[in-house]
Amino acid sequence: MSDFSHIDKSGKAGMVDVGDKAETDRVAVARGFVHMSDETLEAIEQRRIVKGEVLQVARVAGIMGSKRTAELIPMCHTLPLDNVKVAFRSMPEAGGLAIEASARCRGKTGVEMEALTAVSVAALTVYDMCKSMDKAMHIGDIHLVKKTGGKSGEFVHPS
Amino acid sequence: MSDFSHIDKSGKAGMVDVGDKAETDRVAVARGFVHMSDETLEAIEQRRIVKGEVLQVARVAGIMGSKRTAELIPMCHTLPLDNVKVAFRSMPEAGGLAIEASARCRGKTGVEMEALTAVSVAALTVYDMCKSMDKAMHIGDIHLVKKTGGKSGEFVHPS
Amino acid sequence: MSDFSHIDKSGKAGMVDVGDKAETDRVAVARGFVHMSDETLEAIEQRRIVKGEVLQVARVAGIMGSKRTAELIPMCHTLPLDNVKVAFRSMPEAGGLAIEASARCRGKTGVEMEALTAVSVAALTVYDMCKSMDKAMHIGDIHLVKKTGGKSGEFVHPS
Amino acid sequence: MSDFSHIDKSGKAGMVDVGDKAETDRVAVARGFVHMSDETLEAIEQRRIVKGEVLQVARVAGIMGSKRTAELIPMCHTLPLDNVKVAFRSMPEAGGLAIEASARCRGKTGVEMEALTAVSVAALTVYDMCKSMDKAMHIGDIHLVKKTGGKSGEFVHPS
Amino acid sequence: MSDFSHIDKSGKAGMVDVGDKAETDRVAVARGFVHMSDETLEAIEQRRIVKGEVLQVARVAGIMGSKRTAELIPMCHTLPLDNVKVAFRSMPEAGGLAIEASARCRGKTGVEMEALTAVSVAALTVYDMCKSMDKAMHIGDIHLVKKTGGKSGEFVHPS
Amino acid sequence: MSDFSHIDKSGKAGMVDVGDKAETDRVAVARGFVHMSDETLEAIEQRRIVKGEVLQVARVAGIMGSKRTAELIPMCHTLPLDNVKVAFRSMPEAGGLAIEASARCRGKTGVEMEALTAVSVAALTVYDMCKSMDKAMHIGDIHLVKKTGGKSGEFVHPS
């Protein structure tokens, strides 16, 4: 493809070629946080949000979003996920709702983007369902908690 | 993820983790029926429906829909399908059109949802293409006929 | 396009051209039924299904599926939906769970396919979530209950 | 639909019915931040990331993701967007990269979710493209900056 | 958004903002050609291709692909199409199969990309269905034939 | 499925069943060409196109489109791609821009459609981004350059 690069120096950029990598069992865990008022958090816990049961809807959205990671993130590989979980934790002392997602697959590349996408879509869904009562919400601290499998071995976030 | 469950008792709900299951060869067959007037059934058979050749279009829609099962059904796993077939049978004595779909894959989980989704989308497409001449159509009896592969072995519908 | 039809007699088939139709307010209501054992129905009502709260997940799936009707059904027009609702009714006397969906839009063509798709995807999701305990379930009687708006006026299903 | 609610108290939950709302011109602006090491930020600025030009790819991903907001967020309405913009600002003093997205449409409901989704998908793409050199990145402070149009008038985030 | 451009000179690039443009009735017609052997063309005409009726399947694929143009082409606006047609013409004297697609909408921006995408996806589908008997096929001459509506008025391709 | 074919002679048509094929390492390379005026080609090379950096955007679109091949082409199998590359070559002497894409996977069926789809979507994106300055562009000569892997061995296009 050498002739194809003279106006396009980044010709080798793109997806990472994983064709020569071995399949291993991979797990990734990610977290995020939706900052909100105490009133909003209580309304979620007491299932009073008009648009529906926020955590149920956000869990489904996170799981479904995770399965579409490779459609959203340009250089991600399509992975057949073995599992995705999304869970929530009310943290009034920290001013909001924590979200945790884990993703698992047997594949040639990691599943951290799938876990991070699950958290992001779940967080956006929480925001969408509560925004009529709390426009000052914000989504923060989306990060990889840990990841196992693959050549680089286990990673645990330093924080 | 224990701390993540106190407002969310169903925290373990979600996709079934298939990470420890073995891949086996799996086949599922599903059927459904579109009830319609004799006139509509004849118009399909004689290729007189204005929107096009109903069975050709419905077959394509069923196959394409089947490939997107995991996008539609929240807890379904993404499966690389080895094959999907959709076929039709005119049954004027039963008052309509029977649809049969089979799906096959090598995977950790069954393909019954892929076969059922193929039948459902094909049936909806038949409905859509004929609805201007027959608003009283209805779609019925969508069920799994049989399934093979996997730990639970062969299933054949009792009916 | 006349020269383009000699090997392709159905050259005029395809989508209905709605370019000259006026936009009107349109509503459609559809229903379907998932036949299941009493045990399965009770497990849904008592929120004991392992994969999660069936009706919550099926509602979300039905709403999301409805928004993608034009991706699934080849000749459907893309419609900006103003509303989709999905509701359930336990009917042990009839042996299962009834599903009702309504769709609304302001557009040039009806929303019956959107309501029927919402019912179908919700029914498939119920099936998927309960299939490990009840393989003999079947989905039936998916039909249009009524539709308003558009040139053809109101339709109410004869049954 | 009254009979359809007895096992399903949240039967009225779901999308907000916007069928009776007027179309107005709507704009929303959202922001987010990707925290990263100085080395990573410099590598982005100097276009040394192996996977390609990070900001170009992330902009495209953000714009494309924004157009699919209603597919990802269950209760969002499908909106025909008039415009989406995604821009970046290197902020070494704050330890990372700021992302801003604006979305515009003429519609019955706001476009804040489209702007927030653009920011989120762009941020995830930055993360994906840089993660091989910086696993401790995290995504933060995704919030609505302002929104105009609609009955509730202008909103400007208090921060 | 001025502060958001210093590492990102192309910050104003992206979708064209059509928020201030008027909606007009728009039509676009595009064509393409699939070059193939006489044997392949005859096999299509005589419906002998193993994978199915090529033109029926390619028409459906072209129409469905056209509805997803804005998902595929990054800077395209989402348009509610009023109509898409795909037709074919056997041209043995020219060594292949001509494809023509027309798209129509009422919108703020043109539908040429929708017509061109319909032609492209239909051509790829023809290729896919015939490739086992003819690997030397190629797809050519995809171009806009004419377009009407919008500020720039009518365009007719000079060829 | 024998009873299911009497009104539907093409009942066996559809996807090729690859369930009994072995997985092999597969690579395909495809090319295409966008014919354009010298002015347009220069504007691309000098990054003066208003909608953004054409080749960057087209590369991302081609890669993302390639991952969705099985959604667009009805009889294509879903493949987990190991790699997709898209590159460009300015050829003023030939009157335009050449596009080359390669796709790689380990699978039961070839990746030529994925490479051809990458080229097609990249070409359509180039067209879309430049069409305001050059309506007479056309896309041509989309063909498979070579393919390796699978039972039929290596193929090199005769041209």
pLDDT digit string (tens) for chain E, length 159 residues: 446 654 555 555 689 999 999 999 999 999 999 999 999 999 999 988 888 899 999 999 999 999 999 999 999 999 999 999 999 999 999 999 999 999 999 989 999 999 999 999 999 999 999 999 998 999 999 999 999 987 777 888 876
Tokens representing residue B5 in the block: 């469950």
Report the pLDDT averaged over residues F47-63. Answer: 91
C127 in Cβ contact with C49 (< 8 Å):
no
State residue E159's pLDDT score: 65
State residue E50's pLDDT score: 82
Burial class of residue B146 in the structure, from the number of CB atoms within 10 Å of its CB (0-12 exposed, 13-18 middle, 19+ buried) = middle
State residue B12's pLDDT score: 56
Inter-chain residue contact D88 with E15, CB threshold 8 Å: no
Report the pLDDT averaged over residues C107-128. Answer: 96
Q: What residues 123-152 of chain B have any CB closer than 8 A to a CB of chain A?
A: none
Bridge partner residues of C86 (DSSP): C101
Closest-CA residue of D relative to C88 is D4
Percent of chain C with pLDDT over 70: 91
**Least confident span in B29-38, B99-108, C10-19, E114-123:** C10-19
D85 at E interface, C-beta within 8 A = yes
- pLDDT band at F51; cut points 50, 70, 90: confident
Which of C142, C144, C155 should we substitute to test contact with B (largest number of B Cβ atoms within 10 Å)?
A: C142
C68 at D interface, C-beta within 8 A = yes
Tokens representing residue B124 in the block: 């909806």
Report the pLDDT averaged over residues B27-33. Answer: 97
Q: Please say if the pLDDT value at position C8 is more than 90.
A: no
Report the pLDDT averaged over residues C109-127. Answer: 97
Chain A contact set for F33 (CB, 8 A)? none
What are residue E99's phi and psi, to 5 degrees? -125, 135
Record: fold of B38-151: Alpha-Beta Plaits (3.30.70)
State residue F1's pLDDT score: 43
CA dihedral over D117, D121, D124, D130, signed as positive or negative: negative
Burial class of residue B157 in the structure, from the number of CB atoms within 10 Å of its CB (0-12 exposed, 13-18 middle, 19+ buried) = middle
State residue E3's pLDDT score: 64
Record: fold of D23-156: Alpha-Beta Plaits (3.30.70)
Closest-CA residue of C relative to A61 is C60
Inter-chain residue contact D57 with F53, CB threshold 8 Å: no
Report the pLDDT averaged over residues B41-61. Answer: 92
Record: fold of F24-149: Alpha-Beta Plaits (3.30.70)
Closest-CA residue of E relative to F122 is E73
State residue B149's pLDDT score: 87
Domain E31-156 has CATH 3.40.50.2300: no
Chain B contact set for A64 (CB, 8 A)? 71, 74
Bridge partner residues of F138 (DSSP): E143, F35
Inter-chain residue contact E127 with F116, CB threshold 8 Å: yes
DSSP string, A90-115: EEGGGTEEEEEEEEEEEESS--HHHH
Classified as helix, coil or strand, F25 is strand
State residue D1's pLDDT score: 42
Task: Classify strands D24-35 and D138-148 as parallel, antiparallel or unpaired.
Answer: antiparallel
CATH code of A23-151, in short, is 3.30.70.640
State residue C62's pLDDT score: 98
Cα(E14)–Cα(F112) distance, integer angstroms: 31
Write the CA distances from D63 to B158, D59, D139, E25, F65, integer angstroms.
Answer: 51, 6, 18, 26, 15
State residue D116's pLDDT score: 98
Q: Please say if the pLDDT value at position F97 is more than 60.
A: yes
State residue F40's pLDDT score: 96
State residue D9's pLDDT score: 54
E23 at C interface, C-beta within 8 A = no
D48 at A interface, C-beta within 8 A = no
A22 at F interface, C-beta within 8 A = no
Q: Average model confidence (pLDDT) for chain F?
A: 90
Q: Please say if the pLDDT value at position B11 is more than 60.
A: no
Inter-chain residue contact E87 with C8, CB threshold 8 Å: yes
Q: Average model confidence (pLDDT) for chain C?
A: 90
Domain limits, chain C: 23-156
C65 at B interface, C-beta within 8 A = yes
- pLDDT band at C65; cut points 50, 70, 90: very high
| pLDDT per residue as tens, chain A (159 positions) | 446 654 555 555 689 999 999 999 999 999 999 999 999 999 999 988 888 899 999 999 999 999 999 999 999 999 999 999 999 999 999 999 999 999 999 989 999 999 999 999 999 999 999 999 998 899 999 999 999 987 777 888 876
State residue D51's pLDDT score: 80
Report the number of secondary-structure helices (H) and strands (E) in chain B.
Answer: 4, 5
State residue F124's pLDDT score: 98
Active-site residue, selected from the candidate residues C8, C20, C82, C128? C128
Inter-chain residue contact D82 with E5, CB threshold 8 Å: no
Measure CB to CB from residue F18 to each of B44, B68, B83 and give the nearest one. B83
User: What element of type H or E holds F113?
Assistant: helix F112-130
F70 at E interface, C-beta within 8 A = no
State residue D66's pLDDT score: 98
Closest-CA residue of F relative to A21 is F82
| pLDDT per residue as tens, chain D (159 positions) | 446 654 555 555 689 999 999 999 999 999 999 999 999 999 999 988 888 899 999 999 999 999 999 999 999 999 999 999 999 999 999 999 999 999 999 989 999 999 999 999 999 999 999 999 998 899 999 999 999 987 777 888 876
Strand intervals (E) in chain D: 24-35, 81-91, 96-107, 138-148, 155-156
